Chain A
């Protein structure tokens, strides 16, 4: 048991102590399996990891009818990743996209459609829908779980493309770690953690300081591509076992970031410089009580409270006069009760109810805006045949501002034989209109356009009219109507293959049909020539594709993996217009109009048809050496319309595909001192015009030290 690769504490505590009592067959079977495979290679270990994202309770990955990717701590360490975006950038089917921050694109969905959780609770604080992944340090992460396909049946809004659940470390043994890393762009990272554990009490503390000088891909202009910033992350976690049946877990996280920038708002030759200061803070508190009412009935009481706030000021460099000063405060509070009933080894039912209070107060809103969601969910895990697993679930959400949603999901897995498993799922997902889509009342101070949320539209237009700011109405505000949630239907069908003992392959085909996508269009023209925009439901979009993951264990120490995603994402109305011959383009040289053929349509912008990753992991525990080599290819993707027909159809509208190659080497001495060095983006690929988010080559080196009271907790 001591040699188990991922921290086994929770497994021990949940399964060993209680499970044999709680419910016999299924879970002891799970435990048996994990123990057997714990000795095996990285690949099979991963296959039998324990995940919580799929059912909201700990389950063995191999028994789940839905595909979940698990990235264990060891792999994150070997890669030398510091922030969550570093980790996700290298996973199959995920693309890092930059839109008001660094976000993730999953199954062709924009970042706002992926729910990001920390220990099962949602992270808040999105800018134009993007949750900045750089906010999340990975030094305290035990594993990252990625579940693709809609999961609104468990998680409600936002879980349309999928869910990324960050599982943080828990108290395990009595020990501590300290690590320091320095690299290109004066990027410095310091992390420390402390663990203390007695029979009943467990404490875990983590602190991280990350700072960078940023980088500048276009030195001829004022300001940097990424401005310098410093951030701190603190996490505390306490666990206490009151009795065999009652356990408490309390965790809190605090994050703060400060950034300074220089912006030029002048014209060429006559710069007008602004000094910018930005601050981001977010914190959350999450007490959870686990009560095992009986051997068959387990309950979990969760409470989660989170706040996210930013401030940003811009001052003229010349005289310090304020140019712009904004703030944004968001809160999220959620109590939830969950009950899990084990009828027998083949029937498990989970029920949950909860309420969410959310509020936003910001420069761009008239007043403090609030809304509330009540929800209930149910889930049935059923094993009607030895080889057949079913997962049936549904969730009902009632929202105070726009109505209610029901999201069902059905998944099944059939083990055809020892080397072949088939699994499929159907699910519905939704994304509620967010605060800005409902309540925004914003006028851009430099350009002068106005954006009104759907609830503000009628009053906002009336106000602008009264002020004499409207030149001409372009649409009837009433025609925008009540805004609805965006919703999707998703189909997934996949195979798990193990043709050879040391090779495993998983293939998954997916199709998502999304309707009522919220878009903006102009309502009126203002006297300054700019427009008033508002939100409305319009577009129907589909994304479909194929994903493949193959892992081969070459030797005990060497693992090779290959990942590939093929993706098509298109706007259905554009497809129809193209078929009808109603889409035109201008020849970029002569500017003469021609008709666009359906085959020329490249689909939605910013989606790569092909994405590939190939990785080699070497991990030799006897000598303490480990190394990684990872190549990530992102195929060409649409950037912006250049021939003025709003769609992606011309070669000039694509960003070229590119490869980044990352390497790292580490040596561990006496299982406690670890030296590591690496290089990200070895070929120094940059594209300042189209991909400012990719810095050049980054070199780094780090040192980490682990000490422990009793030599039992450190891995390996």
Chain B
């Protein structure tokens, strides 16, 4: 699986960062946080969510769904957070409008848990729009520009996430190839970028961990 090797590379990089940070642990000099990109996260299953852990930048086995090992789950256009009716954790979330890089701090309030009345992260007209039959490209799931998902993770830390693409290979959605359903890349493959703040603060720029 393609994304796994990429995840592993990313994981190594992240681990090395953490290690180097640990080396300077004594004076706890703040370190700049950089975004991690996850490519083509497969959420093809119609029944099971693909569960993801921000801290480890890794997919968590679905057998661990009743644990706090995961933060966010993907199944098609449905996003769940590990809390409320979706999991045993304390995860909450909200959608914030803005530019990913400009969101330097998580909001103080406004977080919600998944509930029967609705998920914390609204799908249609929340993080994406469905183009339907009237516009080109037809029947496409397009993430709405300027929507950032801010998550309070299962272990009470903060992360911000921007969904970049719903289609395999993060294709341009303005081409004729994408418009044609016969040649459009597979859907349910998420490309997103995120920043996870391990030190428990709401800051998305620097970390002391």
* Residues of A in contact with B (beta carbons under 8 Å apart): 267-268, 447, 449, 472, 474, 522, 525, 529, 531, 582-586, 588-595, 640-645, 652
Contact = CB atoms under 8 A, between A and B. Distances in A.
B174 A642 contact: yes
B117 A472 contact: yes
B99 A595 contact: yes
B142 A594 contact: no
Contact of B145 (A268, A584, A640): A584
Main secondary structure of the interface of A (DSSP, over half): loop
Nearest to A653: B174
Contacts of A590: 164, 170
Given A472-B118, A644-B143, A588 B135 contact: no
A427 B174 CA distance: 43
Given A584-B99, A592-B164, A593-B100, A641 B135 contact: yes
A472 B116 CA distance: 10
B146 A584 contact: yes
Nearest to A591: B164
A593 B98 CA distance: 9
12 contacts: A268-B182, A522-B125, A525-B124, A584-B146, A589-B172, A640-B135, A642-B136, A644-B129, A644-B145, A644-B173, A645-B146, A652-B174
B173 A588 contact: yes
Contacts of B182: 268
A652 B136 CA distance: 12
The 4 residue pairs across chains A and B that have the minimum distance between CB atoms? A584-B146, A584-B145, A644-B142, A588-B174
Contacts of B207: none
Contacts of A642: 136, 173-174
A446 to B, nearest CB: 8
Contacts of B170: 590-591
Contacts of A472: 117-118
A655 to B, nearest CB: 12
Contacts of A591: 143, 164-165, 170, 172-173, 191
B107 to A, nearest CB: 16
A593 B117 CA distance: 30
Contacts of B142: 644
Contacts of B132: 447, 449
Interface residues of B, number: 27
B97 A582 contact: yes
Contacts of A641: 135
A642 B135 CA distance: 9
Nearest to B180: A268
A525 B142 CA distance: 18
Contacts of B23: none
Interface string B164-184: 110000101110000001100
Counting chain B CB atoms within 10 Å of each CB, which of A267, A525, A595, A642 scores highest?
Answer: A642
Contacts of A531: 124
Contact of A585 (B125, B136, B145): B145
Counting chain A CB atoms within 10 Å of each CB, which of B97, B136, B165 scores highest?
Answer: B136
Given A447-B132, A472-B118, A644-B129, A593 B146 contact: yes
B47 interface: no
Interface in B106-141: 117-118, 124-125, 129, 132-133, 135-136
Nearest to A690: B136
Nearest to A592: B164
A123 B100 CA distance: 53
Contact of B172 (A268, A447, A585, A588): A588
A594 B99 CA distance: 7
B206 interface: no
B144 interface: yes
B162 interface: yes
A641 B99 CA distance: 20
Nearest to A521: B125
A529 B125 CA distance: 12
B97 to A, nearest CB: 6
A531 B130 CA distance: 11
Contacts of A588: 172-174
Given A592-B164, A593-B99, A645 B145 contact: yes
A593 B162 contact: yes
A593 B174 contact: no
A410 to B, nearest CB: 41
A164 B140 CA distance: 40
A531 B174 CA distance: 25
Contacts of B135: 640-641
A640 B136 contact: yes
A586 B182 CA distance: 24
B89 to A, nearest CB: 23
Contacts of B143: 586, 591, 644
Contacts of B129: 644
Given A593-B145, A644-B129, A644-B144, 8 more contacts: A589-B172, A591-B143, A593-B99, A593-B100, A595-B146, A643-B145, A644-B173, A645-B146
Contacts of B145: 584-586, 593-594, 643-645
A522 B123 CA distance: 14
A252 B116 CA distance: 62
Contacts of A268: 181-182
Contacts of A640: 135-136
Nearest to B191: A591
A644 B174 CA distance: 10
